[in-house]
Amino acid sequence: MNININSLESDEKIENVNLKSPINYIFKHNELLSSEFLKYFINNELINDSDYEIEILDNNCNFTNVTQDQCVVLGDDDFFVLQK
């Protein structure tokens, strides 16, 4: 799974997220990529100061976009997006 956070105010990529390092957050039923999670997980002021969208490339080469008002919940072999 490849996760990028992109600014909506410019063409700038804010961050590439690795959920396996330094701590593995990828486990069943875990809620990830909410704005609260990202503020904790990433030390980047742009997360707090700008609008962003998260782009996920999954293992099947499908793209999913997640807004600041959504989060991702991991399932058995997939994930789904929830509105916060």
Q: Supply the DSSP symbol for 69.
A: T
pLDDT digits (tens, 9 = 90+) for 3-60: 999 989 888 788 899 988 888 888 899 999 998 999 888 877 777 778 899 999 988 8
Domain count, the chain: 1
If 0-12 CB within 10 Å is exposed, 13-18 middle and 19+ buried, where does residue 42 land? middle
Q: Which domain holds residue 36?
A: 2-83
Tell me the C-alpha distance between 35 and 52, whole Å. Answer: 10
Could you tell me the pTM of the whole model? 0.86
Tell me the C-alpha distance between 9 and 47, whole Å. Answer: 12
Exposure of 48 in the CB half-sphere (CA atoms within 13 A): 7
pLDDT of res. 13: 84
pLDDT of res. 49: 76
